[in-house]
Structure 1
Amino acid sequence: MNFRQEFLLLLKARYPIIYISTFEEDRLEYTIRTIIKGVTPRHLYIWDFIDGYQVNPIHEGFGKRNPLQALELIEQAPLTSPSLFILRDFRRFLSDINISRKLKNTARVLKLQPKTIIIVDSEINIPSDLKDCTTVIKFSLPNNLEIRDEIVRLVIRMQLCDRAPEKFLEKIIMSCQGLSLEKIRRVLAKTITLYKCIDNKCIDLILQEKKQIINQTNILEFWPVKETLRDLGGVTNLKKWLAKRSKSFSELATNYGLAIPRGVLLIGIQGSGKSLVAKGVAAEWKLPLLRLDVGRLFGGIMGESESRVRQMISIAESLAPCILWVDEIDKAFAESTQSMDNGTTSRVLGTFLTWLAEKEVPVFVIATANNIYMLPVEILRKGRFDEIFFIGLPNREERRMIFKVHLSRLRPETWSKYNLDLLSRQTNDFSGAEIEQSITEAMHTAFSQKREFTTTDISKAIKQTIPLVRIDPERLDMVQEWAYSGRIRIA
């Protein structure tokens, strides 16, 4: 059921208070006007704290800076004319006992009258004593058809050409997903100002706009992608598994009836390349990468953490298809912390896991963890992720490949002069990160002596490095126990 159908149903069923959360006040009010004009004619009253009631000329300015008076007008409005009362930013007054009591009294009367109160705010925060008489409905960001219509309208209005550029239209529409209509107008206007046209150049500007939106939330980060899976040595099984699903978000896959992949959980010690997998998948699949630091979900105010989870989910879904990279999930949801915070961690985890299991939007989740024993068993249950992979230490051939990847990037003309076989033999128990660091150390040594670094420099750096697994061998043993027992797959 879409917004129009649900809104009409609530009006006809005489629901007294409808709460709509959106940043797009203008678009929402335009949508409501078109609904009541075409199907169920009603008088429209719009109130805000500064200007009072607007639109309706008889009561122009009534209730200015007085939310209680704004509610009194609802009772005074004639019963003979069905009416809608839009109250902007009214959430801020709901905690006042005078306002909440008046709302409850008014709601009781409105059940028998053709009047409806619509509270419009950017956040959902309903006091417990008003939840029974308030119904929340979702006003989604513009869909593909609305975005297409806006682009076509703007192209024709600006007289750029007789029709929208079909060659780029689909790419631009996909790029605009997750933006409000107002932001789409702004970024397209910026493109036209800069380039005098709408083409592929505007996609970079749109992505910059998305980056601004995501960074403002202070929950998700829009992560730039440079690495590919070719920059990751080893993990052959994981690469094959991902390659099978690389086209799963396409229209052809949907028409085929293919289920949208949920994601993977990657487990292994630090430096094994788990984060690089997330970046590589985003690059290979050509999807935006959103990074979630789970620690940012937790706030100090009661209910704030749960609100942040819902906000994170809403942002990720609005930008779909995308990759959601959940970094070090074991530290945030460790079982040992769940009994020490009045249940906040359990509630956040429950909301997150429910979304993982039931999401129907193309958000591919890549979660990473270092210690499988810190994870709650609910995360490991089938249905949360499509698969759980163990990324262990690279074997000799994989270490050789890792050296080749790094050296060919640093010295594309001369990498073959380095003795990769010797270096791979010397780095037993090294992770990919430790191999990279040994090359970096060799480069520092040679640079300080004003010469090119050699295999010997790298060998010396290797001898000076103590791999993490030798410092803390139990950390690898615990994860390997799960991997080699068949409970999780080896990457």
Structure 2
Amino acid sequence: MIQRNASIQQFKDAFAGGYPVIAVETWEEDITLNMLRAFFNSIFNKKGEFFTFDLQSGLLNSAENNTAPLNPLEALDKISVLTCPGIFVFKDLAGKITDPEIQRRIKNIHHNFRGSNRFLVLLSSNFLLPPEIRREVYVIRHALPEAHEIESIIDDYLEALKKRGIANELSAEDKNQAVISLKGFTGAEIKYALSKICWGKKVIDAGIIPLLHDEKDQMARKDGVLEYVRNSDSINEIGGLENLKEWLIKRKSLFTPEAAKAGIRPPRGLLMMGISGCGKSLSVKAISALWGLPLFRLDMNKVYSGSFGTPEGTFDRAIKNIEAVAPAILWIDEIEGGISSNTAKDGGTGSHIFSAFLTWMQEKSSDIFVAATANRIDLLPAEIIRKGRFDQVFFIDLPNDTEREEIFKVHLKRRNNKLDDFDIPLLSVATEFWNGAEIEHVVEAATIEAFSRGEKLMQDDLYTIIRGTVPLSRTMAEQIKFIKNWASERAVSASRSDK
């Protein structure tokens, strides 16, 4: 049986405290039930009663193996009059917890069971307790498999494969990456993922790691508001932004056990603000690739839509789910619009989520790195950018001369062009005050034009597109000037000055 040290201690505390009604949030009913049976055997020495209830089997006495009512009201009535010590485990009540008749019976059981060594235990993946019974119910969250448990499951699986003649060539670092990839899954889901990915292979090697990362997509789909972002964007594909890249490289190893032993905590987060099209989103993806951590994007539009429950409840659930897969990166795009203290349009919902986010950022103990981006930086509340929330606030400006050269090189090489065929410094001069997205557009559009003629890309093709493009710096000159002035005293430049 999988052992969860944190969960075991919570159970011990709850039973020792004599709480009559205990709600256990768990994704693994069978493991939680086995753990409760073990407690029953140790606490009652098999002299009490152990009942279970679900809507299919009804009320079952494990000792006598007989069943009683399928109706939860009748089942609760039956256990409430029993005088023998015991544990009574009820599944399937979470959806009925708002029923006044269910609430009344829980209140009565709480009163009747006090000091009698009788415990009503409710099991569900999620409890939203109504105010009427919040004081009567003690809530425990049964943790998902911890790192050492995941490693044990992987080892057992690899040992089983070895007996079938399938070689294991995973290094220690590969196995560590596999463990990170499988954080947030139940024990059963881990086994399913390993079986799916390793099926038909003759050798198990580092090639399974990206496939395990992709299993996160399943988790994100089920959540609804979290999107798992697959990416292969290397930090080397970012033109310029040397200060930002240096900051990221220095923190590459801070999520490792070695860093923890040295007393170094992982970074909390990074806020990148600045002009649209200058590489903020690309930089977020590069963090994931550089650090080897899964990347999830939080869709705040879906949070506010109400399609997944109340916005506050949906946001809270998303935070719990991202914490379950730690270490990971949480991407909040255009944070000024998604998480704001502005309550004019939503009657206070935005303010509640804003407060919850600030509190979580300040107090979170999980290894979740928040990568936030912002375009309208003047809309950012002061509370967001103060120290203690994000480790650093970077301003991403329009690329300088050297950075524009680097951006041209990245996009020309990506399309299999020889850099010696182009005068890149002249291209940089011709695109002064252009952003990275506009430079990418120039290369892409010129490549299409050359391909349509059946010719290779030439310098003149690029000039043709440049002459026909009006950059953002011209159409939004006043706004860009304002952004630069605003950020000059509030953020660190992501770029280094031209030499």
Same fold (TM over 0.5): yes
- The question of 1:481 aligning with 2:485 is answered yes
For residue 339 of structure 1, what is the aligned residue in structure 2? 344
For residues 352-391 of structure 1, the C-alpha deviation after alignment (integer angstroms, 9 at most, x for no partner) is 2211111122211110000111122221121110011100
TM-score w.r.t. structure 1 length? 0.92
The residue type paired with residue 192 of structure 2 is: R
The aligned runs of 1:423-442 (5 Å cut-off) are: 423-442=427-446
For residues 113-169 of structure 1, the C-alpha deviation after alignment (integer angstroms, 9 at most, x for no partner) is 211111111222111101111121111101122223333444556644899878454
Q: Distance in 2 between matches of 1:91 and 1:301?
A: 20
For residue 145 of structure 1, what is the aligned residue in structure 2? 148
Q: Report the CA distance shift for 1:301/1:443 in structure 2 as closer, same or farther (over 3 A).
A: closer
- The question of 1:468 aligning with 2:466 is answered no
For residues 267-301 of structure 1, the C-alpha deviation after alignment (integer angstroms, 9 at most, x for no partner) is 01210100011111111111111122222222437
- The question of 1:263 aligning with 2:269 is answered yes
For residue 228 of structure 2, what is the aligned residue in structure 1? 222
For residue 458 of structure 1, what is the aligned residue in structure 2? 462
The offset of 1:193, in angstroms, is 3.9
Number of positions where the alignment pairs a residue of Structure 1 with one of Structure 2: 485
Q: Report the CA distance shift for 1:376/1:188 in structure 2 as closer, same or farther (over 3 A).
A: same
The residue type paired with residue 351 of structure 1 is: A
Q: Distance in 1 between matches of 2:74 and 2:103?
A: 13
For residue 420 of structure 2, what is the aligned residue in structure 1? 416
The aligned runs of 1:204-215 (5 Å cut-off) are: 204-215=210-221
Contact 2:266 2:367 in 1 (8 A): yes
Contact 1:53 1:59 in 2 (8 A): no
434-443 or 285-294, which deviates more: 285-294
The aligned runs of 1:98-117 (5 Å cut-off) are: 98-117=101-120
Contact 2:49 2:63 in 1 (8 A): no
Contact 2:288 2:295 in 1 (8 A): yes
For residue 317 of structure 1, what is the aligned residue in structure 2? 323
The aligned runs of 1:70-469 (5 Å cut-off) are: 70-79=75-84, 82-156=85-159, 159-160=163-164, 167=171, 169-191=175-197, 193-195=199-201, 199-300=205-306, 304-336=310-342, 338-412=343-417, 414-469=418-473
Q: Report the CA distance shift for 1:396/1:202 in structure 2 as closer, same or farther (over 3 A).
A: closer
Q: Distance in 1 between matches of 2:479 and 2:256?
A: 40
SS of 2:433's partner is: coil
For residues 370-414 of structure 1, the C-alpha deviation after alignment (integer angstroms, 9 at most, x for no partner) is 0111122221121110011100001111111111111122124x2
Q: Distance in 2 between matches of 1:43 and 1:201?
A: 51
Contact 2:167 2:204 in 1 (8 A): no
SS of 2:50's partner is: strand
For residues 1-42 of structure 1, the C-alpha deviation after alignment (integer angstroms, 9 at most, x for no partner) is 822112112112221211111221111112222233335545
Q: Which consecutive residues of structure 2, in runs of 5 or more, have no partner in the other structure?
A: 495-499
SS of 2:227's partner is: strand
The offset of 1:77, in angstroms, is 2.1
The residue type paired with residue 477 of structure 1 is: K
Q: Distance in 2 between matches of 1:334 and 1:462?
A: 38
The offset of 1:345, in angstroms, is 1.0
TM-score w.r.t. structure 2 length? 0.91
The residue type paired with residue 97 of structure 2 is: L
Q: Which consecutive residues of structure 1, in runs of 5 or more, have no partner in the other structure?
A: none
Q: Report the CA distance shift for 1:190/1:300 in structure 2 as closer, same or farther (over 3 A).
A: closer
SS of 2:180's partner is: helix
Q: Distance in 2 between matches of 1:203 and 1:10?
A: 39
For residues 79-112 of structure 1, the C-alpha deviation after alignment (integer angstroms, 9 at most, x for no partner) is 3xx2111111201111111111121122111113
For residues 187-224 of structure 1, the C-alpha deviation after alignment (integer angstroms, 9 at most, x for no partner) is 23334542266554543443333221112211111111
The residue type paired with residue 223 of structure 1 is: V
Note the aligned Cα RMSD (angstroms): 2.3
SS of 1:19's partner is: strand
SS of 1:2's partner is: helix
SS of 1:87's partner is: strand
- The question of 1:47 aligning with 2:53 is answered yes
SS of 2:116's partner is: coil
Q: Report the CA distance shift for 1:442/1:165 in structure 2 as closer, same or farther (over 3 A).
A: closer
Q: Distance in 2 between matches of 1:36 and 1:490?
A: 60
SS of 1:178's partner is: coil
13-22 or 158-167, which deviates more: 158-167
